[in-house]
Structure 1
Amino acid sequence: MSTTEWTSYRRDPSQDELEAANAEIARQTEAVGAIEVQIQSLISEIGRLRTQQRVHQEAIHRCKGVITLARRIPEELLAKIFEHCVEEGWTRAPIVVSHVCSIWRKAAMAPRVWSHIYLDANSVDALGRTRFWLHRARHAPLHITIVASWSTPRTQLVDTIAILRRRASQWRSVKLSIDSLAVTHFALSNFTQPMPHLRELVIDTQLHEGGDIDDEFTLANAFTEEVAPALSELRFSCNVLPGRLRLPRHIHTLTVDISDSPMSHPLSNLALVDLLQDLPRLEHLTIQLPLVYEAQMLNEDPERIVELSKLTSLTLHGPTDLNGLLAHLRTQSLKELRLRSLEDVGYRQEPIGPTLLQFLEQGQASLETLELHDIDLSPGTFEDCFWAMPDLRTLRLHESSISDDTIKLLSGRDAMCPKLTRLDLRWCSHLAGKALVDMVRDRQPCPLEVDGDIRMGCTSEVTIEPMMELGILNCCFVEERDVLELARMTTVRLSVCEDDYCRVRQCCENTRYRQRLRLRHLATLSSEEREQYRLIV
């Protein structure tokens, strides 16, 4: 501001100055008004453009919905996905997916999407829901799940089973999940109709102390071969093993899972023998018992034998004494044997060796797969068992003290188990990596050059098959250089498989293995490098 302008504000303005100021104010006010009009016009234009932008964005969204993978999936595949959702336990999947879009609704109308009938007998509208599901399922094969409890009104349970019974010719699997053995027995008493295509039966129940029934349970009457000729698989889960359990004689696969038996229900191996002696066609058997049966498995009659001539797969999972059942079995066709102990006490497992050896020798089985999970054997017993398994192809050892000398029995010109091609070792804390390298190298079919030294493979008259896959998890004396050396000769797996038993127990995680063996950088190898070394990490 100049001195002249500054002094003009320190005196009263003249008449001319007042008129000039008012004129300037009017002019500026007019300019501000014009600018405001422009601003409002631009704001209106922006709003119009925003509206057009939303229209285009909605069009893009609709077009993306047309080309999205979910819209391009064939109807048959969508229906299969919805069916898998129901199989995994999402019982309301058909209802929910029907509200997504017209294409999904059309796919959800496939009868097999509604073929898994989940009946909660305690629900308010159990009858109406069952009728609705059966109407949508039409003539598709049915998989029935019935959930009830000791407080379920008997009339409601009878009425709902009566509705399902009209479609018995469509049944493929039936599961009863009832927390009372008495109610389960009552429900089964209503299964009087032929079930010609029923293949799988699952019973999940409980026996309560001081109940109004004894601990006898029979399925043999309701599911005879005349009534259910296609029934092949049975899974029985209970908190105790009933004193007398009678099962259909014509089943091929049996799983007995006892969760938490009270001490007032002691069990002997002869009770299991009694159970198995009426199942001459059994091919696959799994028995799981809780640790509460430790030192409870009594052998009153060691001479008692049951012949399971068609059995090909046997899994025993429970206390160490459960393996005493082997002394009572004769299985000429057995191919797979899995022994899994819940105990971690070495001295308690000493009797398993002679029992297992006797079983292998007397059973005359051509065993191809042997798994010992938390069960250990002495070096001498390992050697005797190897001699008794000339056809063994897969050996899995978990928490074993197998030694270098024992591994050497599997190599050389006179190698035991000449057909062994897959070896899985986990938590084997006494085994050195060099012994594994030497064993795999000695089983190679052709000469190998190592550090300028040519070593020959096995040249004996008996063909020694090479090792195709070697699993190593948490073996602390198998080091990085051993793994890389092994990977040059065979496929080395450093992680559990998808269907691996240890995946359920989470006892052999890949991360723990890498930390223990300092092999973290192996995970950074490219797929080409892994193929070069034949590593699965």
Structure 2
Amino acid sequence: MCIFTLVKEERYDVFDVSKGPWVLSHVCKDWRATLLSGSLWSGLSVDQTKRSFKLKDPLALLQTALSRLGPFHPLDFTFKTSHRCIDDSQKNIVDALLLQVIQVSKQWRIAAIELSSERVPTLFTVRNNTRNLKTLQLKCSDIHEFGTIDAFALSPNLSKVALQNFGHLKNRIELPYPRLVAFSDDREWGDECMTEYYVSLLRRSPKLERLLTNHQLLGPSGKSTFSKNKSSIVTNISVRDLHACDSALMRRISLPALESLTVNSRDVTLPDDILPSIRDMLVRSKCPLRTLSIFDSPGHSDLIWILESTPQLTELRLRFPSWSKKQDNTIKSLIGKARGILPQLRVLDINMYDWEFLGVGFAFISASLLDLVKARPGLRVLNVQVLTQDVLTGLSQKDISELCALKSQGRELSVTTRGEYRKGEDDQRFTQTEKLRVYV
């Protein structure tokens, strides 16, 4: 029995009888006896989008699987539906399947649920019946309004929650905030109420360690329009990892335990005041920040001010979707000052990745990189990659040889460019393929 438990899939397809625990019944009487163990049926997947769903009686298969799980064993499951048009018979089947899973909500431990907004209200029936639920991932397959979900507000063990594609700004979820350890929400745009929702979450979640949001509150000028009332600052002493890109949120919070900060706007432009807001939040928090990742960075002098306030930083990652002379000068200044302002730096990763800005130079890629690596034995990882058709002239053959020698000693050093390169453009300083030049 232990062997079967060790090799079982994390989530078996409840409708595919050729795989998972179903196949045990095809071997012998003794193996069929093992099917009575609920642990073999504890991780199931109900997925309307898979081909295996198109069976004569999927409901009977789910009922069988749940009966073999038994009434006491915890259930880890995925339930996925599509918002695409389906006929009434299939729609009725999906509703019946969802009700079957809801009937065993007292056994839910890890739940990953994807529903259309019209089906979300069905979850209200699990209120007061999810006492074993620890992890919830809730995704909407469309972006329509469904209001506030309070079905999980009283789940006594729920500590990790991830929301995906919640879409409409008025869509909310009430949670057992005092027990919350991790929370994520991937919505990109919102009004002041969205910002206040996250501020309130930080206020009400004293055990929260990880917060991931993509929300931005932008005004017409590209700056946040949220109130700068300093008296409304909320302090959370447990958050260690923050992913956020809303300057309004940064201005409202203080996180004294913050160790890792990621600023990533995905497909939208960061607000102009994001870096000053980050700087002020870090100064106010007096936190032991170790890791800083800024994607889509404006890359101006505020970046230097941020780094000057985080001398304990060990990892710095910067991504630039655009490039300018001003940004080049900022990073050049950063490289020159890094020896003094970042004495504990172990990882430095710089990447520029947009074809539109080819032709702008990269003066920061120079002998100063070598000087930084030589002066900082603790700097174990250096990765620089940019888009350019041009040869990097700032590094001499001697500089590259020294960097390669340091790399051979076990340090992870890389300097590369990407572009559309023609044959015959080889240079002794780099090796070349059609789309990559490797200097170090």
TM-score interval (norm. to shorter)? 0.7 to 0.9
Output the TM-score relative to the length of structure 2: 0.72
Alpha-carbon distance in structure 1 between the residues aligned to 2:110 and 2:147:
24
CA contact (8 A) 2:241 2:261 kept: yes
Give yes or no for the alignment of 1:443 onto 2:376: yes
Measured after TM superposition, the shift of residue 173 of structure 1 is: 0.5
CA contact (8 A) 1:112 1:137 kept: yes
Q: What do you get for the CA RMSD once the two structures are aligned?
A: 4.3
Measured after TM superposition, the shift of residue 396 of structure 1 is: 0.5
Higher mean displacement: 228-237 or 112-121:
112-121
SS of 1:277 mapped into structure 2: helix
- 5+ residue gaps, structure 2: 321-326, 354-361, 423-428, 434-438
Alpha-carbon distance in structure 1 between the residues aligned to 2:413 and 2:268:
26
- CA 1:120/1:480 → structure 2, altered by over 3 Å: closer, same or farther? same
SS of 2:186 mapped into structure 1: strand
Measured after TM superposition, the shift of residue 350 of structure 1 is: 4.0
In the alignment of these two chains, the number of paired residues is: 386
Q: Deviations over 1:1-26 (max 9, x none)?
A: xxxxxxxxxxxxxxxxxxxxxxxxxx
Of 364, 368, 383, which residue of structure 1 is paired with 2:290?
A: 368
What letter corresponds to residue 339 of structure 1 in structure 2? V
Aligned to 1:160: 100
Alpha-carbon distance in structure 2 between the residues aligned to 1:177 and 1:363:
37
- CA 1:489/1:289 → structure 2, altered by over 3 Å: closer, same or farther? same
CA contact (8 A) 1:115 1:140 kept: yes
Give yes or no for the alignment of 1:398 onto 2:319: yes
Alpha-carbon distance in structure 2 between the residues aligned to 1:405 and 1:344:
27
CA contact (8 A) 1:480 1:518 kept: no
Aligned to 1:57: none
Alpha-carbon distance in structure 2 between the residues aligned to 1:441 and 1:494:
15
Q: More helix by proportion, 1 or 2?
A: 1
- Bigger CA radius of gyration: 1
Q: Deviations over 1:138-196 (max 9, x none)?
A: 5654212334578755973674145423xx24x3201221111x531332323432523
Aligned to 1:183: 119
Of 324, 330, 349, which residue of structure 2 is paired with 1:424?
A: 349
Measured after TM superposition, the shift of residue 274 of structure 1 is: 3.4
CA contact (8 A) 2:218 2:225 kept: no
Aligned to 1:216: 147
Of 331, 336, 339, which residue of structure 2 is paired with 1:408?
A: 336
Give yes or no for the alignment of 1:134 onto 2:45: no
Measured after TM superposition, the shift of residue 245 of structure 1 is: 4.1
Of 300, 305, 326, which residue of structure 2 is paired with 1:384?
A: 305
Alpha-carbon distance in structure 1 between the residues aligned to 2:176 and 2:136:
11
CA contact (8 A) 1:372 1:398 kept: yes
Kindly report which structure 2 residues correspond to 1:101-500, keeping only aligned pairs within 5 A, or say none.
102=27, 112-119=39-46, 125-137=57-69, 141-147=74-80, 152=91, 156=96, 159-161=99-101, 163-165=103-105, 168-169=106-107, 171-180=108-117, 183-196=119-132, 198-205=133-140, 216-219=147-150, 222-224=152-154, 228-237=155-164, 238-242=166-170, 245-249=173-177, 250-258=179-187, 269-289=195-215, 295=222, 298-300=225-227, 302-303=229-230, 304-316=232-244, 322-342=246-266, 349-379=271-301, 381-399=302-320, 401=328, 402-411=330-339, 415-427=340-352, 429-444=362-377, 466-474=378-386, 477=392, 481=397, 482-490=399-407, 491-494=411-414
Q: Deviations over 1:370-428 (max 9, x none)?
A: 0011113323x2332222102101000111644323211112xxx11211111111129
SS of 1:236 mapped into structure 2: strand
Measured after TM superposition, the shift of residue 326 of structure 1 is: 0.7
Measured after TM superposition, the shift of residue 331 of structure 1 is: 0.3
Question: Does 1 or 2 have the higher relative contact order (CA < 8 Å, sep 6+)?
Answer: 2
Kindly report which structure 2 residues correspond to 1:64-79, keeping only aligned pairs within 5 A, or say none.
76=3
- 5+ residue gaps, structure 1: 1-73, 445-465, 496-509, 522-532
CA contact (8 A) 1:254 1:285 kept: yes
Aligned to 1:456: none
SS of 1:333 mapped into structure 2: coil
Alpha-carbon distance in structure 2 between the residues aligned to 1:79 and 1:92:
20
Q: Deviations over 1:37-62 (max 9, x none)?
A: xxxxxxxxxxxxxxxxxxxxxxxxxx
Q: Deviations over 1:94-153 (max 9, x none)?
A: 6336669959x9599675553223346898745422222124445654212334578755
Measured after TM superposition, the shift of residue 242 of structure 1 is: 2.3
Aligned to 1:519: 431
Q: Deviations over 1:457-484 (max 9, x none)?
A: xxxxxxxxx2111122227547584555
Output the TM-score relative to the length of structure 1: 0.61
Alpha-carbon distance in structure 2 between the residues aligned to 1:83 and 1:149:
24
SS of 1:311 mapped into structure 2: coil
Identity of aligned residues (%): 18
